[in-house]
């Protein structure tokens, strides 16, 4: 196996595994939304607030926690964050009302932002020739965790109830914390200013880095489409096909095809034009939503669309991150914060819009929403992006 300067493959794959397991916490709820709505006697629109709160919490964690990676030891962040994460998962499992589940979900999202420490860490410890490869491997783990989470939660929810999933997640996070405490290398911070100055520097980066702004907008729009799909898929399966959360969750296995391509995309981004990768990825996203639009009663169409939407989203995401991590070497955590906050705010917007689209226009409305977001991603890049990368 190839060994990179300062970053062994053992540590790299540990970060990939950890990114996947932590990111999974954000998406366990999606196949369970119908079961939760029945449990609390609320509408599908109301229960979508569970997914929304998780994404908003993740954005808050990115904004207020991840910049500390440039200022505080990663081991210290790890210890405090995992304590809060374990408490939040237990609170969700025992939640007696939808409101308390929404609050717990916000803190689950906030404390599950740690994978975004691993991505800049991989970029920092890798040599420039292998940076795309390292980002691709960590992102592969992260996306496999996201997609696999739906399979696991769909099965566990159907067999044992939705609350059990949160208890299983608690046990997995406890085991992961022990592993990271032993194996993850300590990374000393490079920023010596105050936390206030650290946060102000985020605004400075956003104002002075056009490639960062553009990458964030591309990422946010495309992720809004992906969240629109996964938030409403469970409703489509229930209404049009009569399938429960178990079958819905298995679509995550199909999407893993796109995740496995992430490491390949990472290697390509070290050698190919980033502009070409961005345009190709955007076209794949447009194709995926075109397929979805005509597949409201076709499982085969949904399967094809899942493969395309995850492949397009992941390819675009890796290209964006390779672009932003090639700049501001001493501020990679803050650069990643700016990008990922906008990225997940886009996801939250997609969740809200998808709930409204489903409520009023069902799957056709969701598909037109996703198609519009994908077209906007491509057009914004074509207008503003060619000179930036």
pLDDT over 60 (residue 262): no
Sequence-ordered list of residues with C-beta below 8 angstroms from that of 109, at least 6 positions apart, any chain: 25, 26, 53, 54, 55, 56, 57, 58, 59, 60, 61
* Per-residue model confidence (pLDDT) at position 4: 42
Q: How far apart are the first and last CA of the chain?
A: 31
Rg of the chain in Å (alpha carbons): 19
pLDDT of residue 315: 86
Whether 150 has a pLDDT exceeding 80, the answer reads no
The string of DSSP codes covering 88-104 is: HHHHHHH-SSHHHHHHH
Using pLDDT thresholds of 50, 70 and 90, give the confidence band for residue 175. very high
- What tokens does 97 get? 């009302």
Question: Would the pLDDT of 191 be above 90?
Answer: no
Give the pLDDT score at 377. Answer: 95
Least confident of 54-68, 186-200, 245-259, 358-372: 245-259
Tell whether the torsion through CA atoms of 352, 219, 227 and 308 is positive or negative: positive
Q: According to the model, what pLDDT value does residue 325 have?
A: 77
Q: What tens digit of pLDDT does each residue of 291-349 get?
A: 999 998 899 999 999 889 988 988 898 888 888 877 766 677 788 888 988 987 898 89
Nearest CA among 115, 5, 98 for reference residue 51: 98
* pTM of full prediction above 0.85: no
Confidence of residue 2 (pLDDT cuts 50, 70, 90): very low
Looking at every residue in the chain, the average pLDDT score rounds to 85
Distance CA 273, CA 277 (A): 7
* 97-to-91, 103, 221, 228, 294 alpha-carbon distances in Å: 11, 10, 32, 25, 37
Give the integer Cα–Cα distance in Å for 66 and 72.
Answer: 10
Question: How far is it, in rounded angstroms, from Cα 46 to Cα 99?
Answer: 10
Residue 317 CA, distance from chain mean position: 10
Rounded Cα gap, residues 110 and 115, in angstroms = 12
Hey, how many other C-beta atoms are within 10 angstroms of the C-beta on 357? Answer: 21
Determine the Cα–Cα distance for residues 132 and 137; give it in Å rounded to an integer: 9
* Pick from 23, 16, 316, 311: nearest CA to 138: 16
Percent of the chain with pLDDT over 90: 34
Q: Which residues pair with 4 in a beta bridge?
A: 7
pLDDT tens-digit profile of 61-114? 888 888 887 788 778 888 999 999 999 999 999 999 999 999 999 999 999 988
């Amino acid at each position: 196996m190839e060994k990179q300067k300062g970053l062994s493959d053992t540590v790299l794959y540990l970060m990939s595994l950890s990114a996947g397991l932590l990111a999974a916490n954000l998406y366990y709820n999606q196949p369970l939304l119908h079961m939760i709505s029945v449990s609390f006697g609320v509408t599908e629109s109301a229960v979508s607030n569970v997914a929304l709160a998780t994404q908003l919490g993740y954005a808050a964690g990115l904004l207020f926690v991840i910049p500390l990676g440039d200022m505080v030891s990663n081991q210290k962040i790890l210890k405090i964050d995992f304590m809060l994460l374990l408490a939040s998962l237990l609170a969700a499992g025992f939640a007696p009302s939808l409101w308390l589940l929404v609050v717990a979900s916000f803190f689950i999202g906030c404390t599950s932002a740690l994978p975004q420490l691993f991505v800049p860490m991989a970029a920092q410890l890798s040599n420039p020739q292998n940076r795309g490869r390292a980002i691709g491997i960590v992102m592969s783990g992260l996306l496999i965790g996201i997609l696999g989470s739906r399979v696991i939660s769909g099965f566990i929810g159907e067999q044992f109830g939705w609350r059990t999933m949160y208890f299983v997640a608690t046990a997995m996070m406890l085991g992961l914390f022990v592993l990271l405490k032993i194996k993850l290398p300590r990374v000393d911070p490079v920023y010596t200013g105050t936390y206030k100055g650290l946060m102000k520097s985020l605004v400075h980066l956003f104002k002075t880095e056009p490639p960062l702004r553009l990458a964030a907008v591309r990422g946010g729009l495309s992720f809004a489409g992906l969240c629109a799909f996964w938030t409403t898929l469970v409703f489509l399966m229930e209404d049009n096909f009569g399938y429960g959360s178990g079958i819905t969750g298995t679509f995550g296995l199909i999407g893993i095809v796109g995740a496995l391509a992430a490491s390949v995309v990472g290697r390509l981004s070290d050698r190919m034009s980033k502009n070409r990768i961005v345009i190709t990825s955007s076209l794949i996203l447009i194709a995926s939503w075109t397929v979805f639009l005509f597949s409201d009663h076709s499982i085969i169409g949904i399967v094809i669309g899942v493969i395309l939407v995850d492949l397009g989203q992941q390819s675009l995401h890796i290209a964006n991150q390779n672009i932003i991590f090639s700049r501001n070497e001493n501020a990679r955590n803050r650069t990643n914060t700016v990008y990922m906050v906008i990225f997940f705010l886009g996801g939250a917007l997609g969740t809200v819009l998808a709930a409204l689209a489903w409520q009023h226009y069902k799957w056709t409305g969701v598909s037109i929403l996703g198609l519009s977001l994908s077209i906007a991603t491509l057009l914004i890049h074509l207008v503003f992006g060619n000179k930036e990368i």
